[in-house]
Amino acid sequence: MNAGENGVRTGVRQAAVLGSPIGHSLSPVLHTAAYQAMGIADRWSYVAQECTEPELAHWLDSRDESWAGVSLTMPLKRHAMSLVDWCDPVGREVGGINTVVFTSAGRRGYNTDVSGIVAAIRSVGVRSVRSVTVLGAGATAASTIVAMRTLGVEDPVTVLARDLTRTDAPRAAGERAGVPVRFAPLTDIADHLDVDLVVSTLPAGGADAIAPIVADSPAAVFDVAYGAEPTTLVRAVTSRGRPAAEGFTMLLHQACAQVELMTGLPAPLDAMRRAGEATLRREDPTSHGTARGR
């Protein structure tokens, strides 16, 4: 195969992760590891591309037939919904997509974050959830609300927000998914911890100060932050003998779903996990990312 435009070999199927900023993304590591384990690395390429919201429409329109699809991270997930020809039901409920697949019938949008959240929570033995409190009220909170329906939530989902005037995403997701949602200030967290599960969608380090009070509750925990070492919140909860999942597992499973959507082949979960964990170990163990920014 010869090198073509931008150094990509001609005849190679292309894919990428788009967002801004994008330099921190683990997606190229995970997808490239998948291609290698699947034996298609000589025919598939996956890179990170800086792309802002105003640039997205032109970027998508300018792709040629060599492109299989793209992963989307912040701040593109909501805007991308208006740029696809079809959107899966989960994406419509959440109000955002993280995957676009190019097909002969047009661009198809998917949300694999929800299935990633479910897989992460189940990975620590939590099979069903009756009650849940979500910390943070952004896009990941919206995906979490839809995920809770899959896990069988019965009580209204409590969303604790730092700013109660900025809760549109989870509020709308709950209405579309048929999941009752109630809101309270994050400062009132002590009143909302008698639940089966606490999900922190706060930025990396954002849950450190409240880790002790969450650890004193009966709840299992899912923290979307991740790094080479467990987050402060996860360490506090597991030290009490309760299950706690981190964001890397969500990132891994949503990436597996993307690989399968783009290639049509089963994703090699273990190979992708090993590659991601090896990359995290090479980074500063005190620096944590979040699964919402991949």
Predicted confidence (pLDDT) per residue in 248-258, tens digit: 999 999 999 99
Average pLDDT over residues 10-21: 94
> What are 152-189's pLDDT values in tens digits?
999 999 999 999 999 999 999 999 999 999 999 999 99
Is the distance from CB of 72 to CB of 100 less than 8 angstroms? yes
Question: If pLDDT is split at 50, 70 and 90, which confidence band does 11 have?
Answer: confident
As annotated, the active-site residues are 77
Is the distance from CB of 84 to CB of 111 less than 8 angstroms? no
pLDDT above 70 for 114: yes
φ/ψ (deg, to 5) at 6: 65, 20
What residue type is 64 in one-letter code? D
Q: How much is the pTM?
A: 0.92
Match 């082949």 to its residue by tokens.
265
Match 């997509």 to its residue by tokens.
97
**Which residues have a Cβ under 8 Å from the Cβ of 176 and sit 6 or more positions away?**
92, 93, 95
